[in-house]
Structure 1
Amino acid sequence: MRFCTGTVTAAALVLAACSTPPTQVVVQLVADPAIEAESARVAVEVVSPGGELTRRIAERGETPDHEWPFRVVIVPARADSDRFLVTAEVFDAGGASLGVQRAHAQFFRGQTRYVRLRFTDSCRDVRCQERQTCADGACASACVEPTRDPETAPSMGPCLQTRPLMDAGASDGGLPLDGAIPDGGPPAVPCPEGDLSTLDFEAPLSLPRCPGGIPCETSPTGRVERVESGSALAPPAASPCGVALLRASVFSSASRNAGYVVSEGGPHLRAWLWLPSAGAEQIEAKSDLLAIVAGDATRDLDAPRVALQIDAGRLQVVSEAASADVGEAPAGRWVCASLSVTEGEARVHVDGVEATLPVSASLAAALGEGSHTRVGIASAGAGENALVWIDQVAVSGGALPCAVP
């Protein structure tokens, strides 16, 4: 994956051919020998200051160019595209992440500059915040100034500005970028309090990677990361509770794509979700958004479960042998969604709409013996690039309806 054959255009940035114009940054991906040996695929995401995304995933060995060291050539597609954020992640054959590297960098007009991102053994399990990357086993600033010499390490540089500082106009969905809730009101359900098991993502390192324990995040063909309101990686409206939220994104895959967070318990699950309203990041493949899964939910996408599923822009509640329509999927705003299983029935609430579905005795028994909850994108079939934002996941032994008490 040198991205040197063909050109892929995004709204503000390009992963381009090797014959690109002189204004460009060449991102070189290198790795320790152990990482190289274990690696099966490399995923790269580029974000412009306005939040436009370009993403690619490549299988190692797919072509002669799909080998270490990888190279990504990034060029501006507009005259006002002066900076970018690039995130690269390496996965093994089983979908486990071998590390994440980031760089916030800028273009220099009429020049070719270089940024080197190195994947090391010491950074395998290190989780860093959005403006950070891992170096020598610890988090450090990801804001760098690209160098003229490809062999020279980059120096510290300016960071990508956050969305409220941008004069970027409306997003693809026509929503404001000022941090306001688009529908003009506060959250329709209070933020979780009391004896609930919650994932609020406020702590920078709140989610260890699987199999480090539960709760955890897992991303066989995608990425799950903590971001903050106002970031170019966040939706254009503020997080309903606090300032931090989770961004689950998946890469194009011929077999399945998944990026989700798993927690213990149930049988009641509630979360805030934001689905993109337009553009290439909409979820096209049939995918679970919320699920209560019998047994291990960290890797097994085929485990028995009940789920809130999106399919062709509509929501439905599904089990192993049945489904019930919930309605059109709300997009471009925060919505509360809940899923519960009690007394042989699955019940879902989404944005004031309720639907129910009978659950077989065998599935109810399997869920009663031990279950996990899963929130994000999980598709057992092929899919394209897609993302969903998540906030305040709550799991409880009692009902968690999406309604003000």
Structure 2
Amino acid sequence: MNIPFNKPYLTGRETEYITEAVQSGKISGNGMFTKKCHQFFEKHYGFKKCLLTTSCTDALEMAAILLNIEEGDEIIMPSYTFVSTANAFVLRGAKLVFADSRVDHPGINEKSIENLITPKTKAIVVVHYAGVACDMDAIMNIAKRHNLWVVEDAAQAIDSFYKGNPLGSIGHLAAFSFHETKNVISGEGGMLVINDEQFEARAEIIWEKGTNRSAFFRGEVDKYGWVDVGSSFLPSEVIAAFLWAQLENLQDIQNRRKELWQTYNELFKEMAIPWLKLPSMPAYATNNAHMYYVVTDSLERRNRFITELKEKGILAVFHYLSLHDSPFYQNKHDGRDLPNTDHYSDCLVRLPLFYELPIKDIIETLKSL
């Protein structure tokens, strides 16, 4: 048996749509398939404005530009996240102020945020880890009281909700990922969601390399030129065509992933392993089955667990290393201990979860451990 951690799922129409894009003669960005994807997200989830990007990293970098982040600004974010969350703001000269995770979940401890705010704080960046919502009412209330921006890093959170509201629709800005490890994919790919209309026009300009090219093609201006900073953030039609095939099958993909997640969860409940903690789901959140993880009681136990699974042909992995303790940022961190973050870094294990996962084989193997 050889079960990988991830296997990209193809719905069957990806290459058909890519061929259609190529034959249309329009394979650079912002063509027919890009528009189809934008319209899907805006209609299906009620996002105010969407812009596909070449990655979630690019979407986060656009957010930092839109918020005019500059040297000396402070950004509050969790330490337990991927480096892209941090890099987007470090590139603008910001100082990162890392918050600890919750005891019951790797997401940011909302109760710790307010004590981290200073006159230099400009934004709060929250990460919906495993597609499970942070307490967005608490976070938005803090932001409103202190006149701060909120960015949702929703890289893992497609089709997940907070009190009935789609994740990515609550903060001022949000970023999604369509990397091949996500629920719906385009190989590499991402999206910026703009929920505050004051950012809409400028976001499109930044997206188009700092030009008002999109306005020109809509006939709103008689010529276009360089009007702001920007970069080549928009993806090609090849990427958008691939994504469109995935979006057409979103519900089927989600149903299968949730079935797999539930199978894992029921098995681990039945096994009742004393040193293994199962995922926690707050009452206000839904589960989009982005990942199935467990938390061991020690680093040594985690390593043994991963090794045992590997020996039986199952590739499980640990996840994020604490950013506050990273080689790049440890000397810039303010020295606070973040015990929950470090615990997840040492003890969290992600199990394989993909559409075509042979779950019966994994169940038999897990029962034999």
Q: When the two structures are superposed, what TM-score results if normalisation uses the length of structure 2?
A: 0.27
Q: Which protein has the bigger strand share? A: 1
State the structure with bigger RCO (CA 8 A, min sep 6), 1 or 2: 2
Higher helix share: 2
TM-score, structure 1 as length reference: 0.26
